[in-house]
Amino acid sequence: MQAMTAANLRSAFGGESMAHMRYKVWGARAAADGFPNVARLFTAISHAEQVHATNHFKAMAAEAGAHLVAAGGGFGLGTTSANLAGAIEGETFEIEEMYPAYMAVARAQGEREAIQSIQYAVSAEKFHAALYAEAKKAVDAGQDMKLGTVQICGVCGHTLEGEAPARCPTCAAAKSQFKAFA
Q: Is the pLDDT of residue 70 over 80?
A: no
| DSSP secondary structure letters along 65-117 | S--------------HHHHHHHHHHHHHHIIIIIHHHHHHHHHHTT-HHHHHH
In a domain, 149, yes or no: no
Contact predicate 121/94, CB 8 Å: yes
Tell me what pLDDT residue 71 has.
Answer: 77
CATH number of the domain residue 87 falls in: 1.20.1260.10
93 lies in some domain: yes
User: Is 82 exposed, middle or buried, given 0-12, 13-18 or 19+ CB atoms closer than 10 A?
Assistant: middle
% of the chain residues with pLDDT over 70: 100
- Decide if 157 is inside a domain: no
What per-residue confidence (pLDDT) applies to 82? 97
Is 8 a domain residue? yes
Kindly list the distances between the CA atom of residue 67 and the CA atoms of 11, 21, 178, in Å, as whole numbers in the listed order. 10, 20, 32
Q: How many domains does the chain contain in total?
A: 1
**Residue 128, domain member (yes or no):** yes
Domain annotation covers residue 167: no
pTM here is 0.94
Closest CA to 42 of 28, 52, 60: 28
pLDDT in tens, 132-175: 999 999 999 999 999 999 999 999 999 999 999 999 999 999 99
Give the pLDDT of residue 74: 77
pLDDT at 66 (0 to 100): 83
Q: Is the pLDDT of residue 177 over 80?
A: yes
**What domain range includes position 93?**
3-143
151 in a structural domain: no
- Within-domain flag for 94: yes
Mean pLDDT computed over every residue of the chain: 95
Sequence-ordered list of residues with C-beta below 8 angstroms from that of 134, at least 6 positions apart, any chain? 145
Per-residue pLDDT, 63:
85
For 166, other C-beta atoms within 10 Å of its C-beta total: 8
pLDDT at position 72 over 80: no
